[in-house]
Structure formats: C-alpha cells, structure tokens
Amino acid sequence: QVQLVESGGGLVQAGGSLRLSCTGSGIIFNIARMNWYRQPPGKQRELVATITTTGSADYTNSVKGRFTISRDNAKGTVYLQMNSLKPEDTAVYYCNAIERYNYWGQGTQVTVSS
C-alpha cells in the first residue's frame, strides 16, 4: 500500500520560514518524480514545485527565490523549504508522487499571518 505522509506545516508570521517533509512508502521512491502542490482557501490546487529523479527542480513564478524543493532518495523523503513566507502562501500543501501511478498525501496546513 502506497503512503505519502506530510509534516511540517503550521502557523507562521509573514517573513518566517517553514520546512515541509513528505515521506513515501510502498513506492520505488528513487524513480518517482516528486511534486508539491497547494490549495488556498476557495481556490484550485496549483503546482508549486517539482523535482525530477536526478534532482532537477522547477517552481511556479510566485515562489521562485523563496522556496526550495529537495529530495533524499535514501530516506524516501522530499522537502520543501519555504522562506520569506507571505500571507498569500496560506494553503493546504500536498505532496504528490508520480511513479507507476499518481499518488497524493493527505495534506498539511500552512497559515501565514500578516
């Protein structure tokens, strides 16, 4: 059974930092493309950051220079370091793995207060 478990969300003031983690089990992690999505209140889910199996990363424009995605294949974990957080970063953040199929975590809430 595939599981993606996110952690690290919480409440932070604007300008602060958080580090999200997502640990996968039941998948061959090192061949999975890993993504972080977010869904702000009342809005659609959007792709925030993606990282390939070889570590090549890309970001949506609104987080470039502030967020960093990384992965540790040995630990089966992907991270999202979020710095200089803004109130508009408030959302539920979801981990997504594309291996044979498309897998999702349960989400972790990030709230940035002004």
CA triplet 93, 2, 75: central angle to 5 degrees? Answer: 75
105 alpha carbon, distance to own chain's centre? 10
Tell me the pLDDT band of 26, cut-offs 50, 70 and 90.
confident
Task: Please check the confidence at residue 93 and state whether its pLDDT lies above 90.
Answer: yes
The fraction of the chain above a pLDDT of 70, given in percent, is: 100
The two beta strands, 108-113 and 57-59, are unpaired
Half-sphere exposure of 3 (CA within 13 A, CB side): 5
For residue 41, what pLDDT is reported? Answer: 92
Region 89-108 average pLDDT:
95
- How many residues are given for the chain? 114
For residue 31, what pLDDT is reported? Answer: 83
CB–CB of 25/2 below 8 Å? yes
